[in-house]
Structure 1
């Protein structure tokens, strides 16, 4: 597998080192760096779980990356744990803010494999061994002072740094804020639509109230006069109905039985 342009130190340490002779030299242990120029020089492996032997590999010995393996060429340098403890490093150093308050710790770094230059460090607020913890990016330019085990910055909090990887809690907070913003936008849009509909309805209602009353045309037109007030036409109609004979009002073609109920009575009864 070809080497990528950039690689996290943690990805390199998770792989077991295998040389060009096919020998397994164990997994990665720590990184070997030069803090003044923020450069990774190599890494250290532990060939056996028993014994104090440690193997130091230069970064330019790396030839490829495989599934869980890092392929190297050449011979390593042997050392011991006591010597490694005296090597200067910024990994696992405490990160301090502007007021000297602890903000987290340096747990990882993004490295250019060609030159070994560290592009940025990864900062963890809690124990980096906890799964799903957040990571923030700290570039070397933001470091004010560095001492063995301590890195000082002018930060007020980790929120001033870009977030490289969000934890479950941070992801939920970020999504909840995004959902809240979307809900506020939708609510504002709905409120504007409701206001527009209300304005149109109010305008139509005012226009309807200002129009003259509707007067129906034709035979069903209602007289604006009082219906209880006596009128000559209505009095003449009532008089005609009282003077007319109900039997005469019936058509001549109708049988007498409908005009005289007693005509069809049984004569033998």
Structure 2
């Protein structure tokens, strides 16, 4: 079974140890490490729920990883609880900032399985046993001093470290901060656009106002605007020519006269006025 190149210490300790003979040696309970060089030598398992008997396993005995089991080759070294408590470790040590104030706890470590070298530690702000809490990545180079139970650094806070895993609250705060920054950038951009548009409008209005004041007063000339919004002086209006009169309108000039009367005045003289007793139909 192929082993991964690196593994979290918590993933190794939560598995039960099983040897090539198929014997269950219990789950891992403690890391066996050498803190001065930040190296994991192995781990300790608890074969039974009662008693102080413990078994130590070297890291090079690991041969495979199942879902809930760590497969080992060879036999473990028997030890007791008193000896295991005296083993030096940095797990669950307090992390101190540059002022000496605690800012977190060393909750986990990423280990290179081939050499046992600790690549980085995982820092928890609150209790590491709480599920879903955030983890920050601390490289061994940033550790200034280490003593049993505490690790000193030159950090100002956990924000100086890269975030390895965000909790729900931390993820919400991070996204809220990003949304706030985006809203501020968009508001600033719109403010600049409105300012530029106002400056252009004021400049154009000033130019149009100066053009109106410089134009002479013409009764028939009216100012206009072109398609780009620039002032343009219109041409003075010309009087419209009268519409041509057709000959058909001249024939209607005689409608004030009797249509039965002759148009020639000489013909009108030879006619006598009709008598009252004359029948017009005879």
| Residue ranges of structure 1 left out of the alignment (5+ in a row) | 221-248, 253-269
Match of 1:217 in 2: 237
- Residue 23 of structure 1 and its aligned partner are, at CA, apart by 2.4
- Within 5 Å, which residues of 2 pair with 1:229-244? none
- Residue 33 of structure 1 and its aligned partner are, at CA, apart by 0.3
- Within 5 Å, which residues of 2 pair with 1:73-88? 73-88=73-88
Aligned residues: 226
Match of 1:239 in 2: none
Match of 2:53 in 1: 53
Structure with the greater alpha carbon radius of gyration: 2
Give the secondary structure class of the aligned counterpart of 1:104: strand
What's the C-alpha RMSD, in Å, of the aligned pairs?
Answer: 2.6
What is the TM-score of this pair, normalised by structure 2? Answer: 0.72
In 2, the alpha carbon distance for the partners of 1:99 and 1:186 equals 39
Q: Deviations over 1:154-207 (max 9, x none)?
A: 333222222222222222221111111111111122222223333333344334
Match of 1:256 in 2: none
Matched, 1:173 2:193: no
Match of 1:265 in 2: none
In 2, the alpha carbon distance for the partners of 1:5 and 1:49 equals 32
Query: CA 1:199–1:154 in structure 2 vs 1: closer, same or farther (change >3 Å)?
Result: closer
Query: CA 1:218–1:17 in structure 2 vs 1: closer, same or farther (change >3 Å)?
Result: farther
What is the TM-score of this pair, normalised by structure 1? Answer: 0.75
Q: Deviations over 1:87-121 (max 9, x none)?
A: 11111122223232222221111111000011111
Match of 2:126 in 1: 126
In 1, the alpha carbon distance for the partners of 2:237 and 2:46 equals 106
Query: CA 1:17–1:156 in structure 2 vs 1: closer, same or farther (change >3 Å)?
Result: same
- Within 5 Å, which residues of 2 pair with 1:8-19? 8-19=8-19
Q: Which is worse superposed, 142-151 or 102-111?
A: 142-151
Query: CA 1:200–1:164 in structure 2 vs 1: closer, same or farther (change >3 Å)?
Result: same
| Residue ranges of structure 2 left out of the alignment (5+ in a row) | 216-221, 224-233, 241-252, 257-282
- Within 5 Å, which residues of 2 pair with 1:122-161? 122-161=122-161
Query: CA 1:197–1:70 in structure 2 vs 1: closer, same or farther (change >3 Å)?
Result: same
Q: Deviations over 1:222-265 (max 9, x none)?
A: xxxxxxxxxxxxxxxxxxxxxxxxxxx9x76xxxxxxxxxxxxx
- Residue 219 of structure 1 and its aligned partner are, at CA, apart by 5.7
Give the secondary structure class of the aligned counterpart of 2:48: coil
Q: Which is worse superposed, 36-45 or 184-193?
A: 184-193
- Residue 140 of structure 1 and its aligned partner are, at CA, apart by 1.8
Give the secondary structure class of the aligned counterpart of 1:11: helix
